[in-house]
Amino acid sequence: MHKIHCLNNISPYGTDLLTADYELTEDAASASGILVRSAAMHDMEFGDNLLAIARAGAGVNNIPLDRCAEAGIVVFNTPGANANAVKELVLCALLLGSRGIVDGIGWVRDNADDPAVGKAAEKAKKAFAGHEIKGKKLGVIGLGAIGAEVANAAVDLGMDVYGYDPYVSVGAAWRLNSAVHYVANLDDIFRTCDYITIHVPAMESTKGMIDAHAFELMHDGVVFLNFSRDSLVNDEAMAAALESGKVGCYLTDFANPAVVAMKNAVVLPHLGASTAEAEDNCAMMAVREMMSYIETGNIANSVNFPACDMGPVPEGLRRVTVLHANVPNALTRITEIFGEAGVNIVDLTNKSRGDYAYTMLDLDAGNPGHPDDAIDRLNAIDRVFRVRVVK
């Protein structure tokens, strides 16, 4: 029986997919799998049984990816599963940043007791007039699942769209509307656009990438949208840019003490992926990825180990998997050990990704040799993180 712990509320559409071989547990320390949304895991101790963490969502900055890799824990996310939800909220934010909607709603609330509110509104409304987004220039930083959807939807709304992503995947580039202008230099997005929206992951390399230099290049009154993570924007520089009018409006999904105090900031409580549809999609994808890894060793959509797929375990074979460091000679050591134990390797896949690698081996169970000795010897290899007999 595999025990699964949910660190956050996970849609039952996901947990209902767990078969009779699984049970939910309140005890994270005994779990083989953890399902999580935004809960912070950096200070968490992980149990020895923990094989996988599946993030029902895109961002994985709440999970210590390298520590997990070195403990033999595969971390998954659910790319694209909540992209439409975020895209729709970004479109809403474009309009909130263009028209006096927020202040207008505030005015109506403040005047709710006035019996002549209708007449008063006709006089007051000139204070809340705005601009149309049609024909305006939108810069999209990051053209992954969300950025590409935002860029395409903005083209459909008549915007002139500029996209920047030096690492764009072939799939995402293929999905982009050909009307999106590809920009090779980020500064050109800052210089050109009336609206800028950022859709990149929070990493050391993207921390504070929207800084005083970026604001210096922007148009006066630019509207800036951040539905990715607050660490991407330097709050001090943003506060100064809002104060001077360089940024006309900052729309962010990430409340913190600095942004809630900013003039002309519209702050939402991390609502980007909070739709029933996105929560269901993410939960189902996370549970499927985790079950597939536990039952077959196949890895899809991991963020710390390479994708690797040998299909279901063939009848009559035994599958062993090895999570290890991406170092010279690792594969030779692994195959040598099985050879010396008299175990025939019928099929094998080895993939690497950055510092980490994964080897899957299907072994001849009819002529088993001494597989237990082999497993002990594999476990003793330096920089082997986990050896698992899947079946």
Ligand X SMILES: O=C(O)CC[C@@H](O)C(=O)O
**Site residues (CB under 6 A) for ligand NAD?**
57-59, 79, 82-83, 86, 141-147, 164-165, 167-169, 172, 199-202, 206, 227-229, 253, 270, 272-273
d(CA 186, CA 165): 9
- Closest among 100, 237, 94 to 154, alpha carbons compared: 94
Which of helix, strand or coil describes residue 388?
strand
Using CA atoms, how far residue 122 sits from 2, 95, 108, in Å, is: 63, 21, 11
Give the nearer residue to ligand X in terms of CB position, either 204 or 382: 204
Give the nearer residue to ligand NAD in terms of CB position, either 135 or 354: 354
Q: Where does residue 220 rank: exposed (0-12), middle (13-18), buried (19+ CB within 10 A)?
A: exposed
The number of residues making up the chain comes to 391
215 binds, among ligand X, ligand NAD, none (CB under 5 to 8 A by kind): none
CB of 57 to ligand NAD, least distance (A): 6
Using CA atoms, how far residue 197 sits from 147, 185, 194, in Å, is: 8, 16, 10
Tokens of 258: 């600095």
- For 95, which DSSP code? H
168 binds, among ligand X, ligand NAD, none (CB under 5 to 8 A by kind): ligand NAD
Give the nearer residue to ligand X in terms of CB position, either 59 or 297: 59
Give the nearer residue to ligand NAD in terms of CB position, either 127 or 271: 271
Give the nearer residue to ligand X in terms of CB position, either 165 or 362: 165
79 binds, among ligand X, ligand NAD, none (CB under 5 to 8 A by kind): ligand NAD
Tokens of 80: 């694209």
CB of 275 to ligand X, least distance (A): 10
Give the nearer residue to ligand X in terms of CB position, either 72 or 147: 147
Give the nearer residue to ligand NAD in terms of CB position, either 55 or 386: 55
CB of 101 to ligand X, least distance (A): 24
Amino acid at residue number 42: H
194 binds, among ligand X, ligand NAD, none (CB under 5 to 8 A by kind): none
38 binds, among ligand NAD, ligand X, none (CB under 5 to 8 A by kind): ligand X
3 binds, among ligand X, ligand NAD, none (CB under 5 to 8 A by kind): none
CB of 222 to ligand NAD, least distance (A): 18
CB of 104 to ligand X, least distance (A): 28
Give the nearer residue to ligand NAD in terms of CB position, either 224 or 227: 227
CB of 366 to ligand NAD, least distance (A): 44
- Closest among 5, 8, 54 to 31, alpha carbons compared: 5
CB of 214 to ligand X, least distance (A): 23
Closest CB to ligand NAD: residue number: 144
Using CA atoms, how far residue 270 sits from 141, 213, 254, 278, in Å, is: 19, 27, 6, 13
- End-to-end Cα distance, the chain: 14
Cα angle: 181, vertex 184, 186; to 5 degrees: 100
For residues 138 and 197, the answer to whether their CB atoms sit within 8 Å is: yes
For residues 347 and 310, the answer to whether their CB atoms sit within 8 Å is: yes
174 binds, among ligand X, ligand NAD, none (CB under 5 to 8 A by kind): none
Which residues are near ligand X by CB under 6 A? 37-38, 57-59, 82, 272-274
CB of 231 to ligand X, least distance (A): 12
For residues 62 and 39, the answer to whether their CB atoms sit within 8 Å is: yes
